[in-house]
Amino acid sequence: MIPLLKEVLICLKAGRVTLPYPLKPMSAPPRFRGRPTIDGDKCIGCGACAEVCPPRLIRIDDNGSTRRVSMDYSRCTYCARCQEICPTESARLTEDFEDATTSRKDLTVAVDLELAPCTDCGTPFITKRMLAKMTAEFSPPWMKVKLETPEWFHLCPACRVEKTGSAIDRSVKHD
Ligand code: SF4
Ligand code: SF4
């Protein structure tokens, strides 16, 4: 009996050790790895995040002149590789930890981007935002000489191989 009373006294002395969540709202600590997202204003549709996502839950789908970057984060492991690789700080992990839902649709993010056509065959192949970023970085404002962008910037992978004889995209096979 005495050990039991001692235990009760220790517990009473300690007071409350749990948080009142969810009765009171809680915020996550800084740099917490919560729900991932993609900023539609910043994304250029480069696809780097899709390449590095271990559970392959980020998809890049081209449909006509639109590229959709979509993320189904129901299987997210919160590894933050998408955040690390993203060149525009568009993919990032938020501090939101409340993912419980009855609909899987709530766990998705999608961004639609306009594609630019190949100047040779007309096939849409690169997002306009990505082309603009590549062009701006090829000849940055601090360079005294303004460089013209090479023709292959505007060619789809197939036409690039045909015209220049080299495949930047290694998935394109030489005949
Ligand atoms: S945090 Fe990891 S698992 Fe989640 S979307 Fe980003 S890369 Fe994929
Ligand atoms: S979120 Fe970032 S890495 Fe992913 S497609 Fe957009 S710009 Fe590229």
pLDDT per residue of the chain (175 residues) written in tens, 0 to 9: 889 999 999 989 988 888 889 899 999 988 899 999 999 999 999 999 999 999 999 999 999 999 999 999 999 999 999 999 999 999 999 999 998 899 988 999 999 999 999 999 999 999 999 999 999 888 887 887 787 888 888 999 999 888 877 655 555 554 4
Range of the domain at 64: 29-140+148-164
Q: Is residue 50 part of a domain?
A: yes
Q: Is 48 in the pocket of ligand 1 (CB under 6 A)?
A: no
CA of 91 to the centre of ligand 1 (A): 9
CA of 132 to the centre of ligand 2 (A): 15
Ligand 2 atom closest to the Cα of residue 45 is 5
Q: Is 36 in the pocket of ligand 1 (CB under 6 A)?
A: yes
Q: Is residue 91 part of a domain?
A: yes
Distance between terminal CA atoms of the chain?
87
Residue to substitute in 53, 66, 83, 88 for testing ligand 2 pocket (most ligand atoms within 8 angstroms of CB): 88
CA of 83 to the centre of ligand 2 (A): 9
Read off the amino acid at residue 122. G
Task: Residue 64: give its domain's CATH number.
Answer: 3.30.70.20
Q: In angstroms, how far is CA 55 from the centroid of its own chain?
A: 13
Q: Is residue 169 part of a domain?
A: no
Q: Is residue 1 part of a domain?
A: no
Q: Is 116 in the pocket of ligand 2 (CB under 6 A)?
A: no
Q: Is residue 3 part of a domain?
A: no
What b/e readout covers 142-152, taking b as 16+ CB neighbours within 10 angstroms?
eeeeeeeeeeb
CA of 79 to the centre of ligand 1 (A): 5
Q: Is 91 in the pocket of ligand 2 (CB under 6 A)?
A: yes
Q: Is residue 159 part of a domain?
A: yes
Q: What is the pLDDT, as a whole number, of residue 85?
A: 98
Q: Is residue 10 part of a domain?
A: no
Number of domains the chain is built from? 1
Q: Is residue 89 part of a domain?
A: yes
